[in-house]
Amino acid sequence: MLITRYDLYEGIFNMNLTAIIPSLNPDEKLLQVVSSLIDNNFKHIIVIDDGSEEKHKCFFDKIEKLSPCVVLRHEKNCGKGVALKTAFQYYLEKNTTDIGVVTVDGDNQHRAEDVFQCAQVLNENPNALVLGVRSFKNTDVPLRSRLGNKLTSLIFKFVCGLKISDTQTGLRAISNENILKFLDVIGDRYEYETNMLLETQNSNISIIEVKIASIYIENNKNSHFRPIIDSWRIYKTLIKFIFSSMASFIVDILMFWLLHMLLPISSSVYLILVASLGARSVSSILNYSINHKIVFAGSSNSRLAVIIRYYLLCVLQAGASFYGVYLLSLRIQGNIVLLKIVVDTVLFFISFYIQREWVFQKKTSKKNDSLAKKVGEKSNFWNMFEKVKSVCPKVLIILLVLLVSAIVLLFGATAIISYGPSQSMRNIYVSSTMESSAGKILAKIYFSNIQIKQIMDSNRAQPVNTVTDSTMVNVTQTLGAEKNEIEVEDVKGSSFIGKMMIIHDPSRVYVATPPVFGNDESGMKLEDMVRRDNAVAGINAGGFYDPNGLGKGGVPLGIVIHNGNLMAGSLDTKSIVIGFDQSNNLIVGNMTAQEALDKSIKEAVSFGPVLIVNGEPVPILGTGGGLNPRTAIGQRKDGAVLLLVVDGRHANSIGASMKDLVEVMCSYGAVNAANLDGGSSALMIYKGRVLNSSASLEGPRKLPTAFLVK
């Protein structure tokens, strides 16, 4: 596509164009326009009365009496687009000598010499669309005209790659060949002229701009342009271009999210890879179809060449998306879908530009190439500089549009859940997000802190003040292989799957920690603790300070006791304590560190809530909390320790509630049990193998504590 600009055109010209003037409710200025055209040797003039009121008919009657003029009349107002098409159709049926037409506004804003100059340029370049473009830098240009043209020009530049100075000009010189193409362009009113410019790209029509005078009579008060209705008609086509390009992007994100939820892949690397490729394979079909037929319609390359180019780009983009998301996830802990949106936002701009300039490029004819050379087209180096210079505003536009779309999509889905008819879904949604480290904002968007507290308080395991009575547990002194036996069984519920590990000898279970705790310290991954201690198994244990899911695992919550020593917390720190006493009985309950030490507790962490105490399940309120990955510990009456890990955040296992944990522990005969830290920390290792899928982006997290099995 060539856009050539003339500051001044000089030459001898034999007038062989017809002037077309659409008009609605004119005044004396229409007579002035027609007279000036006659004075400049226009032999054929078509004036269209687009349903004017009766008091304005006299001006058309006067024009009809002038020999070069023909007046076409609409009984009612149909719009400028229809008026132009009426004139085009009449011209093609009656014309035998002229090479084209020049459209002129009837409000005397186009000087006759400017009309004449546009006609001259078309005579020399019959395959082009000639635009008479105004300068909008003058202070006398009305603000609405200046802003409207600037906005439309910016959108044209981004969407179509057309840098048109004046997208709303009514002064246009059009050849017979191009009139036939423009007759099929949709639009009845002002949007028709915008769609005409879009058609130049589809039909590979070069655009030549001719600078004309900027004339606004009486601040353009006689304009029939309706700011809201007609602006929508103009911009809806451009908006269609933007959102048709975005459709595949949204499909890609949704498919990635679904696959990330559905695929039971524990490795975050492979999960991102498979989800990226799967999503792109689906979205690429939609993307190609939309781009080929709508966004970049009119490509003159062969269909096979376009497909090869497109899917080569698609493969490269999918790889860039995978590596971008993966590398970003190593640096930033957050929702993987949001990270993909960030990466693909940048890739969207790059892909759009490559598709427009290479994949769906439109070949320029040799004649147009010679025209470019004739008028002094800038060098390739300078063109590249201009394109690079234009990157920044395009990036900002794309980021803004995609950000708005992503926000609308996210808020739309969560709003339906939050304010929909299902109170249970609302409660589960709020509880699930509030139990996560980074997702709390998704609940706080729709509900106040008071509402959230009410929902959380009515959907949980009810707090109890009872502490474990250690005399209720009788650790069986089993001998031989049975004492050393460890069993691992699958567990399953309506919304979850998980693993239950049964350790028959409770003396083998202890609390492991990193070397030191502190704000500037990091915890250790469970696998590293297991390897360091040469343990046979392990699960994550107590909670830790984890702002927005970015905690390093170096600051445990509550207390930590190991080998009978207080490792973290103070003696008066009160929390839900979960640990083993000197008799290897599991003790759960709300107490201070001093009270725990007084009970001879030797290994303990803090978290909760308590699930079962002294053989009695705690009362469960409402839904029992959200659905999330969970970890729990319990003990049977014979002393066997029960370690439970529940998968979460994928299709096979959305997650478990506190009620689910209580039911599972009761089914295994637990007399005491408590919930441990879950979410992205939930993990179980046995004999060097991870038994569950991690919900963490970057894989297993660093922890302050773990329950290991010697």
Backbone angles phi, psi at 365, to 5 degrees: -70, 160
Q: How far apart are CA 364 and CA 4, in angstroms?
A: 14
Query: What's the residue count for the chain?
Result: 710
C-beta separation of 483 from 504 below 8 A: yes
Cα distance between residue 234 and residue 362, in whole Å: 24
Rounded CA-CA distance 685/499 in Å is 10
CB 126 within 8 A of CB 175: yes
Using CA atoms, how far apart are residues 569 and 556, in angstroms rounded to an integer? 8
User: What pLDDT sits at residue 585?
Assistant: 94
**Residues 482, 484, 485, CA angle at the centre, nearest 5°?**
65
The 10 Å CB-count burial string (b at 16+, else e) for 521-542 is eebbbbbbbbeeeebbbbbbbb
- SS3 (DSSP) at 314: helix
Non-local CB neighbours of 667 within 8 Å, separated by 6+ positions: none
Distance CA 525, CA 648 (A): 19
Q: Could you report the per-residue pLDDT of 67-124, keeping only the tens digit for each?
A: 889 999 999 999 888 999 999 999 998 887 888 999 998 887 878 888 888 888 898 8
CB contact at 8 A, 280 and 318: yes
Kindly give the parts of the chain with pLDDT less than 50: 1, 5, 8-12, 219-228, 230, 237, 364-382, 384-397, 479-481
The pLDDT of residue 364 is 43
Backbone angles phi, psi at 485, to 5 degrees: -70, 140
**Structure-block tokens of residue 144:** 């609405």
Residue 451 DSSP one-character state: H
CA distance 46 to 85: 12
For the entire predicted model, the pTM comes to: 0.49
Enclosing H/E stretch for 511: strand 509-512
Q: Note every long-range contact of 387-390, with CB atoms under 8 Å and residues 24 or more positions apart, other chains counting.
A: 390/157
Q: Contact, 661 vs 500, CB < 8 A? A: no
User: Can you tell me the distance from the alpha carbon of 79 to that of 488, in angstroms, rounded to the nearest whole number?
Assistant: 77
**Quick one: DSSP state of residue 623?**
T
Q: What pLDDT is recorded for position 251?
A: 80
Beta bridge partners of residue 101, listed in sequence order = 18, 174
Describe the strand order of the beta sheet including 586-592 as a list of residue ranges: 565-568, 560-562, 601-606, 574-581, 586-592
Q: Which stretches within 293-390 are classed as H helix?
A: 303-331, 336-354, 366-374, 380-389
Q: pLDDT tens digits for 225-265?
A: 444 454 555 555 455 555 655 777 778 778 877 877 777 66
- CA angle 113/118/124 to nearest 5° reads 125
Count of CA atoms in the C-beta half-sphere (13 A) of 599: 27
Q: How many whole angstroms separate alpha carbon 107 and alpha carbon 142?
A: 15
Q: Where are the beta strands (DSSP E) in 607-669?
A: 610-613, 616-617, 630-636, 641-646
Terminal Cα distance for the chain, rounded: 74
- How many angstroms separate the CA atoms of 98 and 405, rounded? 49
Q: Is there a contact between 387 and 14 (Cβ–Cβ < 8 Å)? A: no
How many whole angstroms separate alpha carbon 26 and alpha carbon 47?
11
So what's the pLDDT on residue 379?
A: 44
For 408-424, the DSSP string reads: HHHHHHHHHHHHSS-HH
Give phi and psi for 527, each to the nearest 5. Answer: -60, -35
Tell me the Cα Rg of the chain: 37
Pair 244, 294: CB distance under 8 Å: yes
Helical (H) or strand (E) element with 658: helix 658-667
Summarised one tens digit per residue, pLDDT across range 102-111 is: 999 888 787 8
DSSP symbol at 653: B
Q: What is the pLDDT of residue 366?
A: 43
In 88-175 the beta strands, taken as DSSP E runs, fall at 100-103, 129-133, 172-175
Within 13 A of 574's CA, how many CA atoms are on the CB side? 3
Read off the amino acid at residue 18.
T
Rounded Cα distance between 314 and 521, Å, is 43
Question: Which residue carries 């392990």 as its tokens?
Answer: 538
DSSP string, 207-272: EEEEE-----GGGGTT----HHHHHHHHHHHHHHHHHHHHHHHHHHHHHHHHHHHH-----HHHHH
C-alpha dist (Å) from residue 572 to 125, 159, 554, 641: 91, 65, 21, 28
Instruction: At 65, list the tokens.
Output: 């009496």
Q: Are residues 671 and 614 in contact, defined by beta-carbon separation less than 8 angstroms?
A: yes
Longest dimension (CA), the chain: 121
Closest CA to 587 of 533, 511, 513: 511
Distance between CA atoms of residues 118 and 585, nearest Å: 96
Question: How many other CB atoms sit within 10 Å of the CB of residue 132?
Answer: 26
Position 432 scores a pLDDT of: 85
Bond before 609 cis per omega within 30 degrees: yes
Question: What 8-state DSSP symbol labels residue 680?
Answer: G
Angle made by CA atoms 289, 292, 298, in degrees to the nearest 5: 155
Amino acid at the residue 411 = F
